Amino acid sequence: MVFSSSMNCLLLHIFIVVSFVSPINSSQTQNHQSINQTFRSEQELQELKKTIATRLRQINKPAVKTIQVPNGDIIDCVLTHKQLAFDHPLLKGQKPMDFPKSLREHKQFDNMSDFQFWSLSGESCPEGTIPIRRVTEQDMLRAHSINSFGTKAANPFPHEHAVALVDKDEFFGAQATFNVWSPYLESQSEFSLSQMWLVSGSYGKDLNSIEAGWHIYPRLYGDNNPRFFVYWTADAYQSTGCHNLMCPGFVQTNKNFPVGGSIPKLSTYNGQQFGLPLKIMKDKNTGNWLLTIGDGNIVGYWPATLFTHLKYVADEVHFGGEIVNAKATGSHTSTAMGSGHFAEEGYGKAAYIRNMQVIDSDNNLIPLANPIYLASNPNCYNIQGNTSPKWGDHIYFGGPGRSDKCP
């Protein structure tokens, strides 16, 4: 097996460390101990190499075409019916669902370059394929754990939230527009996001959740670019689900939009605001949860068979922000949520989610009924809710993290 430069460097580093920390001694026993220690280290690296190579073969399916994106991403155009989703035991042998005619009649992407960086390359994927961001060895090496790569279980640090939620009802979907920022992150182990959650089940036990929005997550991608993402779990983030297409589950169907791709157009403080419109809705015929972006463009779907509770309906819907607080300096992180400014600063300064609606049993989009506003650490990140004729139910949220109020 050919060693990559990153693995070669790691192996050389271990050899050097072993040579310096092993005392010079003429004793044959000492020499054997040193050699055996080096041998074990090399064996461990070989095993790690094999484990990573196996995972990469599982995740990265054969490409019909490969595109190098200016931001460093590699996009593989994979046959739609050959994508990783259909490796799931419950989806094996299936083909992508045939969408209702009313959904197929939506027009193609408007201003596609607003939503994704890769389109700036001028390349596209052929018909019958979907664009998938290739997972690399470097992505794996950054992970806390190879086995939990791509999951929230891979990040062991505390999470903090500022959210609006509705509960104690039956929800068949939700939609909102999220303005996109590039918040500061203190540590590469942390992330900052804005998203919506549709959930059902018991927290910490069998919670089912489907999620979509934007985030910055350097440990996952190797950069600080805001990216569109999806997530799911069927057991409270314990052993099922993952981000994007990093495990079998979410089925992508759109050949123009790579899940996990960078978003090039961002909001600026006291300047132009850019919004990402997202909608999740249950297809009554199949039970699958469809995801659309922009003007009704279908990205893909979460199959109903992945879930226990969400096989039927959601009983809570959340909108808001989340960060990870790794306390890398021993105090609260200075990682920002949203724009890094508190909710009370309002339009053009704080992050917002507007036109928040849920879908009822008759497929109607309706306002939020008695929303609850929660901030787990309001001195660090807060939230304010309001309603207006133009923006409907909306929230401002976020904050800078560590400060005099947030030590």
Evaluated on CA atoms 265, 271, 272, 276, the torsion sign reads positive
Rounded-to-integer distance, Cα 164 and Cα 187, Å: 27
Q: Is 47 a catalytic residue?
A: no
Going by their DSSP bridges, the two strands 173-179 and 351-359 should be labelled as antiparallel
Does the CA dihedral 8-144-116-62 come out positive or negative?
positive
**Catalytic, out of 316, 322, 344, 345:** 322
In terms of Cβ atoms closer than 10 Å to its own Cβ (0-12, 13-18, 19+), residue 302 is: buried
From residue 391, alpha-carbon distances to 354, 388, 394 in Å are 6, 5, 6
**Which listed residue (186, 190, 211, 316) is catalytic?**
211
Comparing CA positions, the residue from 76, 161, 85 lying closest to residue 123 is 76
Q: Is 322 one of the catalytic residues?
A: yes
Tokens 């959740």 belong to residue? 209
User: At a CB cut-off of 8 Å and minimum separation 6, what does 272 contact?
Assistant: none
Closest CA to 323 of 265, 392, 266, 406: 406
> If you search the block for the tokens 């994508």, which residue do you land on?
83
Sheet holding 129-133, edge to edge: 65-68, 74-79, 129-133
DSSP labels, 231-250: EEESSTTSSS--BTTSSS--
List active site positions. Answer: 211, 322
